Amino acid sequence: MLFLLFSVICLAGVALATPVATKRDVDLSTLSFISINSSLPKIALYSTGGTIISALSYGPLDNINYGGAPGPTPAQFVNNNSEVLNLAQIGVLSFPAPGGSAGINSSLFLNVSQYANKQLCAEGSDLVGAVVFHGTNTMIETAIGLDLTVNCSKPVIFAAAMRPDTYISPDGRSNFYQAVAAAVSPLSRDRGAMIAMNDRLTSVYYSTKTNANTPDTFKALEQGFLGNFLGGQPHYYFGASQPTGKHWFDTSNITDLPPVTILYGHQGVDAKLLYNAVENGAKGLVLIGPGPGALAPAVNAAAANLTAQGIPIVDAMRPVSGVSVPPPVPGAIIYSGYFDAEHARVQLQLAIGSGYSYDRIREVFEADLRSAIYSGHNKVVYGL
């Protein structure tokens, strides 16, 4: 009976998970457009920096210790790759990210998201899409933040690079062209945020960085690529769709996101770290459990104690792919499903920042999997 009640609540939560049109005034005043043809479609380029506009410090073969030399500005990068101006008019807006993407915090994606909702998604906007420059080290965190908060069908395409712009064979220029081609394509609508890199298109929702150094790094290992680029143009393998169970958050009234800490599970992990994180200000925790999210008994006990004090705790799997599956009967800990810790942390921030109750947060993470696993014949199998 408890599970049946929870299932009904989950289904209700899912029904509320789709974007709801919000009245916003168009504000393009901050965009400075670069154009050679005023009849071409317009896109926004939101630049947070990254390797794509970085320069080498030690010579044309150094793809490791670069970044000390001044690289091009976003506008200079556009003009240096002027082929893109045959595709679109590009409105540039830069967001300072000192220290590279490793130094970025969640206020950046919140800021970019709010600009995108006012400029890209506002009623009457003539922007057809957006491209985002970002350093690859933490790009997924910003990207999933936008994927869960940009409230319209228009594409948001992340373009990045693993080699700096002055390298002997940079990858960023091709990635940028292809991202613009995807942003202006009507076939890119209703797919959520995507990454255009290495001649591939990947869903942000399922992607992760799989290699620290090579251009062929962002992949959805289980779900696969959405499409590729042929002759510089996007070719999608499937029709437009959104990920199953995806939740959308309204950030129009959020001014700051609460701190959420990720803790890594290993043999002999110290459960006191959970308490230390909360004492240091964490409003939620994401635990990386070995395998599909297995936690040591002491960690389980600490998590149960903290959840009783109102601290939401999400358990994610440690391997690079797989699923953290919730048990038949809900307990203290929330399970991340297909989200790895990076994705789960951002979604938990948004849920807490939106004022969601603990049960509502559980719905956001678990409802789809619970409906899929613990229904039909499995109700008998699991004694539900």
**Is 51 marked active-site?**
yes
- For 48-91, give the DSSP string: ---GGG-B-SS-TT-SSS--SB----HHHHHHHTGGGGGT-EEE
Give the number of other CB atoms < 10 A from CB of residue 12: 11
Burial class (CB in 10 A: 0-12, 13-18, 19+), 323: middle
Q: What is the bridge-based pairing of β-strands 156-159 and 42-47?
A: unpaired
Beta bridge partners of 42: 89, 127
- Which of 18, 22, 30, 51 is labelled catalytic? 51
State the Cα–Cα distance between residues 174 and 197, nearest whole angstrom: 8
Structure tokens at 43: 């896109």
Q: What is the CB-side half-sphere exposure of residue 369 using CA atoms within 13 A?
A: 20
Residue 378 parent element (H or E): helix 378-381
Return phi, psi of residue 279, to 5°: -60, -30
Active site residues: 51
